Amino acid sequence: MECYCGSKKEFSECCESYLSGVSKPSSALELMRSRYSAYVLGDGGYIVRTTAKENRYEDDLELIGEYAKSVKWLGLEILHVEKNIVEFKAYYRDANGAKVQHEKSNFIYEDGAWLYRDGKIYNSKIERNKRCPCGSGKKYKKCCESKQNN
């Protein structure tokens, strides 16, 4: 099965070893991709464990689980990567249709592991002439956008 993070690798050769705790991501990008896979799978434990200590809240486990059940993740697009920063768009569908979360995430390397520190969220929308994130192969305006407007 292809990995949820969009790497084009098999899940067993990509994010699975991170989520299971067998290995640790060796870069901010690998951590970003594995956290996306964790959201897809509703693995709140991984999300909490890979968050910087100052921003880590055990109460988030339940919230992440609820959120994971309320959305269907459609895909991850990596826009820009620096050593400690990953800018991405994560596409998902909720009760109101297809959406995008556009974020520039900051990561730190602490105690031998990469951790998510925080991020800046941008007010973005799915571009009408791009391929629809649902995977239909159609342009967004001819697919999920038109369904939202009906």
pLDDT above 90 as % of the chain: 67
Compute the residue count for the chain. 150
**Tens digits of residue pLDDT in 26-73:** 999 999 999 999 999 999 999 999 999 998 887 888 888 888 888 999
What is the reported pTM?
A: 0.90
Compute the average pLDDT of residues 119-130.
90
Which CATH number describes the domain made up of 11-125? 3.10.450.50
**Integer angstrom CA distances of residue 99 from 6, 51, 52, 80, 148:** 17, 24, 27, 20, 11
